Chains A and B, each alone.
Chain A
Amino acid sequence: MVREYPIGLLFSVTGSYGTVGASMLHGARLACRQINADPEFGVRLSPIEHNPGSDLNAYAPAVETMISSGVRNVIGCYTSSSRKEVIPVFEKRDALLWYPTHYEGFESSSNVIYTGAAPNHHMLPLVDYFTRHIGHRVFCIGSNYIWAWESNRILREELAQRHGTVVGERYLPVGETDVDCIVEAIFAAEPDIIFNSLIGESAYAFFRAFRAACCSRGIDQAQRYPIASCNLSEPELDSIGPDAVDGHLSSSVYFASIDTIANREFVSRYNTAFPDNHGPSAEAEAAYVATILLAQSLRAAGTDTMNDVKTCAANQRLRAPQGEVVIDPETFHTYLTPRIGRSRADRHFDIVYDAGNPVAPDPYLINSTSILEASPLRPSFRIVS
């Protein structure tokens, strides 16, 4: 008997970070089509879509509407701010959010399954890579909200352990595209590398403006001032535009260029389903994986009520395009395989580092950070005469 369950797809496909949201929606839709096309699977998904349009205030009402119409499992949210907005609604209404995005960690709501990367999957390998191969003087830029604040805090902690320094830190409001003051500040600080946590249009504007400023000064930006991000994927390279697209580092658990049979098949199906796009992003794969894991959990539970689905979600595993993924029953985060890519002019990534195996999630960084916070840069020892 095939049971049909309504599921919510909550992605902002318009607005500041609409490029990524659309890519995530495509990943989730592809998974729904795959599940529904397989009568042997035993479950059919009936997706109900909502587009909050990158407006933070639109998220909670959208979830209320979905749950009122009978939805108990929602896949969605890109920004951490939007996740924080909707969690109280899920907790109040006994529903489950499947959050597929990489995020900054330090959360474990009992109403969320976190299938995206935890900070030990993206931040730590990236810091490890650039301190080994590039340098220790880092300039941090980011969108002014929790993702960038917390990412930069973790970066500072990691750098402190490796005797590195943050030589500058600047934030822009989400959606702001006037980046000239940041570009000037970077030239003044002369870092070895720029760590970018800007999202959406702000990030694209920065990549373009910084490359142009470097060109006008005769500087090879990718060599002298490489930019490293934990949130840069293939569709975003399209949005940056052809002049500034190559040479950027990205830490992610998925790149479309992963050379495995499973991934080639996934990319091919994605491109056939969405020919107007330029291939799947890490977020698209994450939404795809989350949707399949949800379907597997629904099948195992035989119902879509929260507690039963959550119980069955523990230890669910899948041979995903990125490799094997498993939901950790302790943290309800996911085992994923960290990788680092360098962008090419053809808007794909060369993979320069691959962890080789799925890595256990560590959302509170209990296994990777020190017990005490990093020492302040200002020494407490002073010589007085």
Chain B
Amino acid sequence: MRSNRYVQNFRQRRALILSRDWRAIETISAMAARLGMSIESVVPDDGGLPPILDVADAQCDVLFLDGDLNFLPETGQGGAGGGSGPPHIPVIGLVGIEAPSRLRALMQFGATAFLSKPVHSGSIFSALYLAINTFDNMSGLRLSIQELEHRRRYRRHVIKAVTLVMKSRSLDDEGAFALLRKEAMRARLSLEAYCEGVVQRSTARSLDEKGRRQGT
């Protein structure tokens, strides 16, 4: 489970700087060093994103991406190395031209914080704090949504299981649900997973009985 605690210390992280703006590179490098980060400045060619992004790690790396580069996703290009899409790491967009198209392109690339150029060293800590913690929050939310979607898909098993228990134990729906929840907790399973098992066992039993009846 994701912690709700915010990241406040960026030591041992790696700052990947993707820019041709030497002033921005210089300012970010100096500040990142003060924050205990290592620095990897990558001057991109126009052919696409550098392969280093393919192996970037969300827990170790943060990308400073210059919005003035001309291979951002607004053109439908992008994709690190083999075109696998934006890297799943925190991204800080460096904004030279505040045009909505540039900002949109940076957001589509995953930017969760912006730094206006020329970069002011006093803003970098705040941008890192915002980018990394927003990225973590969004990752946590994405996992929660996946989990909820998964459980929603299994909801029909719960309904079936409640109906089965109501019939077999002569209980009302509330009683059946309470019994299933208790058994799920005892089995250390989610309600949905337990109900899936109940339904599968019931279906198997029905098939057996049907088979036996046909056999006799």
**B-contacting residues of A (Cβ < 8 Å)?**
87, 106-110, 330-331, 363-367, 369-376, 380
Q: Is B69 an interface residue (CB 8 A)?
A: no
Q: List 18 A-B contacts (CB under 8 A).
A: A106-B125, A107-B122, A108-B122, A109-B121, A363-B34, A365-B9, A366-B9, A366-B11, A369-B8, A370-B9, A371-B8, A371-B9, A372-B5, A372-B7, A372-B8, A372-B9, A373-B5, A375-B5
User: Inside 8 A of B33's CB, which chain A residues have their CB?
Assistant: 330
Q: Is B31 an interface residue (CB 8 A)?
A: yes
Q: Is B135 an interface residue (CB 8 A)?
A: no
Minimum C-beta distance from A290 to chain B (A) = 20
User: Inside 8 A of A374's CB, which chain B residues have their CB?
Assistant: 5
User: Inside 8 A of B11's CB, which chain A residues have their CB?
Assistant: 366-367, 371
Q: Mark B1-31, 1 if CB is under 8 A from A, else 0.
A: 0011111111100000000000000000001
* A380 to B33 Cα, complex, angstroms: 35
Minimum C-beta distance from B32 to chain A (A) = 11
* A119 to B9 Cα, complex, angstroms: 15
User: Inside 8 A of A369's CB, which chain B residues have their CB?
Assistant: 8-9
User: Inside 8 A of A375's CB, which chain B residues have their CB?
Assistant: 5
| Contact (Cβ within 8 A) A364 B35 | yes
User: Inside 8 A of A363's CB, which chain B residues have their CB?
Assistant: 34
* A330 to B33 Cα, complex, angstroms: 8
* A380 to B3 Cα, complex, angstroms: 10
Q: Mark B110-126, 1 if CB is under 8 A from A, else 0.
A: 00000000000110010
Q: Is B36 an interface residue (CB 8 A)?
A: yes
Number of contacting residues on B, CB 8 A?
17
Minimum C-beta distance from B172 to chain A (A) = 21
Minimum C-beta distance from A212 to chain B (A) = 40
Chain B residues 98 to 119 lying within 8 A of chain A, measured CB to CB, are none
The listed residue (B6, B10, B31) touching A373 by CB distance below 8 A is B6
The listed residue (B6, B34, B121, B125) touching A372 by CB distance below 8 A is B6
Interface centre among B6, B11, B31, by most A CB within 10 Å? B11
* A366 to B122 Cα, complex, angstroms: 17
* A330 to B36 Cα, complex, angstroms: 11
| Contact (Cβ within 8 A) A364 B4 | no
Q: A330-B33, A364-B36 are in contact. Are A109 and B10 (CB under 8 A)?
A: no
Q: A108-B121, A109-B121 are in contact. Are A366 and B3 (CB under 8 A)?
A: no
**CB closest residue in chain B, given A331:** B34
User: Inside 8 A of A330's CB, which chain B residues have their CB?
Assistant: 33-34
| Contact (Cβ within 8 A) A373 B8 | yes
* A372 to B59 Cα, complex, angstroms: 12
Q: Mark B157-199, 1 if CB is under 8 A from A, else 0.
A: 0000000000000000000000000000000000000000000
* A273 to B14 Cα, complex, angstroms: 52
| Contact (Cβ within 8 A) A367 B3 | no
* A106 to B9 Cα, complex, angstroms: 11
User: Inside 8 A of B7's CB, which chain A residues have their CB?
Assistant: 371-373
User: Inside 8 A of A373's CB, which chain B residues have their CB?
Assistant: 5-8
Q: A108-B31, A109-B121, A367-B36 are in contact. Are A380 and B8 (CB under 8 A)?
A: no
* A372 to B31 Cα, complex, angstroms: 20
Minimum C-beta distance from A124 to chain B (A) = 14
Sample of 11 further A-B pairs with CB below 8 A, known A109-B121, A330-B34? A109-B122, A364-B36, A366-B10, A367-B36, A371-B9, A372-B3, A372-B5, A372-B9, A373-B6, A373-B8, A376-B4
* A372 to B132 Cα, complex, angstroms: 12
| Contact (Cβ within 8 A) B9 A364 | yes
Q: A372-B5, A372-B6, A372-B8 are in contact. Are A366 and B121 (CB under 8 A)?
A: no
User: Inside 8 A of B31's CB, which chain A residues have their CB?
Assistant: 108
* A7 to B35 Cα, complex, angstroms: 31
* A289 to B7 Cα, complex, angstroms: 36
User: Inside 8 A of B5's CB, which chain A residues have their CB?
Assistant: 372-375
Interface centre among A107, A110, A367, A376, by most B CB within 10 Å? A110
The 8 lowest CB-CB distance pairs between A and B, nearest first, are A366-B36, A372-B5, A366-B11, A373-B8, A371-B9, A373-B6, A373-B5, A331-B34
| Contact (Cβ within 8 A) A364 B3 | no
Minimum C-beta distance from B209 to chain A (A) = 39
User: Inside 8 A of B36's CB, which chain A residues have their CB?
Assistant: 364, 366-367
Q: A372-B7, A373-B6 are in contact. Are A110 and B121 (CB under 8 A)?
A: yes
* A109 to B34 Cα, complex, angstroms: 12
**CB closest residue in chain A, given B121:** A110
**CB closest residue in chain B, given A109:** B122
The listed residue (B34, B121, B122) touching A364 by CB distance below 8 A is B34
* A110 to B4 Cα, complex, angstroms: 33
**CB closest residue in chain B, given A157:** B8
* A257 to B128 Cα, complex, angstroms: 43
**CB closest residue in chain B, given A106:** B125
* A375 to B5 Cα, complex, angstroms: 7
Minimum C-beta distance from B214 to chain A (A) = 48
* A375 to B6 Cα, complex, angstroms: 9
